[in-house]
């Protein structure tokens, strides 16, 4: 089985699991999605005790594999794989905008946690629906714009990508055919980008390279 087929299975599973989660099909780590919209007071204070483990897992995953979560686990990626078929433009990495969204997200969560901002049930529901709709519509015109320019979690993993210990590396036997660049989902210049912190390990370039010049490397070796 090719790596892309394995990846599609992973993304299909996480997408279905997310839909079931949203529709109250099952709980994750003791939290039902329907319960999230029934909190009183601070959302973060209500669920902070159950959010430490996912945060630690995200931190560990990012340090080991950078933006692997974005390419293999994130349910939004499953949606992007569909919308990118209709997108008129290829992605162009903007290293600034997603970090602005990350900063804004951290500020909002801080004020929400300290009680200076109240995220009501109705506001959370409306924001969720509007956010998903905007992501899908925008991605129909600009391939993976959410992943490359907006997603605060993607920005978080991009930062960790600078110190990740496993990264794709282009070997000296590369013939500069540019085929890797043409299939990169994140719009990266695969041949010249160092340290590839934006790479989501989608594996397209590895399977596309006719010279097998691109390999996953343990940088501490």
Stronger pLDDT, 50 or 97, i.e. the higher one? 97
The reported pLDDT for the residue numbered 72 is 94
* Greatest CA separation for the chain: 60
Question: What rounded mean pLDDT belongs to the chain?
Answer: 83
Stronger pLDDT, 221 or 100, i.e. the higher one? 100
Q: How confident is the model at residue 15 (pLDDT cuts 50, 70, 90)?
A: confident
pTM above 0.75, yes or no: yes
Q: Name 46's Cβ contacts closer than 8 Å, sequence gap at least 6.
A: 39, 40
The stretch 121-143 carries a mean pLDDT of 83
The reported pLDDT for the residue numbered 47 is 59
Q: Name 43's Cβ contacts closer than 8 Å, sequence gap at least 6.
A: 36, 112, 119, 124
| C-alpha to C-alpha distance for 115 and 181, rounded to whole angstroms | 46
């Amino acid at each position: 089985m090719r790596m892309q087929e394995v990846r599609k299975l992973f993304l299909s599973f996480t997408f279905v699991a997310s839909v079931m989660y949203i529709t109250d099909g099952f709980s994750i780590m003791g939290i039902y999605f329907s319960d999230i919209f029934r909190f009183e007071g601070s959302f973060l204070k209500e669920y902070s005790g159950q959010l430490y483990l996912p945060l630690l897992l995200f931190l560990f995953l990012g340090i080991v594999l950078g933006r692997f979560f974005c390419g293999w686990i994130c349910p939004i990626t499953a949606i992007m794989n569909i919308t990118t078929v209709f997108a008129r433009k290829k992605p162009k990495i903007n290293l600034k905008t997603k970090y602005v969204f990350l900063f804004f997200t951290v500020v909002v969560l801080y004020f929400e946690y300290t009680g200076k901002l109240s995220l009501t049930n109705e506001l959370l529901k409306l924001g969720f629906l509007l956010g998903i709709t905007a992501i899908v519509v925008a991605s129909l015109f600009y391939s993976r714009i959410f992943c490359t320019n907006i997603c605060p979690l993607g920005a978080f993993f991009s930062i960790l990508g600078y110190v990740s210990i496993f990264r794709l590396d282009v070997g000296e036997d590369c013939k500069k055919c540019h085929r890797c660049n043409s299939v990169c989902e994140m719009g990266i210049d695969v041949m010249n980008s160092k340290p590839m912190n934006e790479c989501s390990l989608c594996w397209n370039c590895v399977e596309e390279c006719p010279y097998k010049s691109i390999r996953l490397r343990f940088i501490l070796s």
